[in-house]
Amino acid sequence: MEQPYRESLVELVQSLNKPNAVVVEVGVHRGRTTEQLLKTFPEITVFMVDPWGTWIDGREITPEMQAGFMAEALQRTDFAADRRVVCRKTSEEMAAESGMADLVFIDAQHDYESVRRDLVAWNPKVRPGGIFCGHDYNGNHKGVIRAVDEFFVGKEFAVAEGSVWWRQIPTA
Interacting residues with ligand SAM (CB under 6 A): 25-29, 32-33, 49-53, 56, 90-91, 107-109
Closest CB to ligand SAM among residues 33, 77: 33
3-state secondary structure 32-67: HHHHHHHHHCCCCEEEEECCCCCEECCEECCHHHHH
Closest CB to ligand SAM among residues 14, 54: 54
Collapsing DSSP to helix, strand or coil, 167 comes out as strand
CB of 153 to ligand SAM, least distance (A): 24
Q: What angle, rounded to 10 degrees, do the helices at 4-16 and 32-40 form?
A: 40
CB of 64 to ligand SAM, least distance (A): 14
CB of 117 to ligand SAM, least distance (A): 8
Closest CB to ligand SAM among residues 102, 107: 107
Q: What's the one-letter identity of residue 98? A: S
Query: Are the C-beta atoms of residues 168 and 126 closer than 8 Å to each other?
Result: no
CB of 78 to ligand SAM, least distance (A): 17
